[in-house]
Amino acid sequence: MSDDLDNSLDEDLFKNKKDETLPVLVIVLSILTFVGCIFTVYAYFFYAIILRDTTINFDRFYLLLSVCCIVPCLVGAILMLLKKKLGFLLYVIGEGAPVLWTLYKQITNDTSFFLMNIFAMVIFYFIPIAFIYMYSINYKYFR
């Protein structure tokens, strides 16, 4: 009798675990990811147009890398809304590549990245790392 009760409780818990809804934090983070990606595309588009005719030295590879990394971030956010673990991996790759490139450029003392102010450091480091951390908290809900 006791074994039957234990099995039925395990089955009920397992069934409810699969039917869990997505946490609100993942939905909010995904919406903010969409907004951030759209903002990044517009910002880099205008950045490239404004600096096209000037003699200011900026890293075109970083510009291309940042725009190309938007696709994995968007796809990752969509897949995380669908509760897929692959979405988290794509998001980490998409956010991590520009952060690592900026860190590399600062370590090698590249003049275009060396004089970053505090605001730029928050944008380039804190926000992506915070989003990765908040998505990782909800990793257990992904399949």
Identify whether 117 is part of a domain.
yes
The mean of the pLDDT values for the chain is 78
Identify whether 8 is part of a domain.
no
- Give the end-to-end CA distance of the chain in Å, rounded to a whole number: 34
pLDDT tier for residue 79 given thresholds of 50, 70 and 90? very high
pTM: 0.72
Domain count, the chain: 1
Tell me how crowded residue 22 is: count the other CB atoms within 10 A of its CB: 15
Q: CA 86 to CA 19: how far, in whole Å?
A: 19
Tell me how crowded residue 12 is: count the other CB atoms within 10 A of its CB: 10
Angle at 136 between CA 29 and CA 131, to 5 degrees: 40
Question: Can you give the residue range of the structural domain that contains 107?
Answer: 22-141
Identify whether 6 is part of a domain.
no
Identify whether 1 is part of a domain.
no
Identify whether 13 is part of a domain.
no
Reported as a single tens digit per residue, the pLDDT across 99-117 is 888 778 777 776 555 555 6
CA dihedral 44, 119, 80, 76 (to 10 degrees): 30
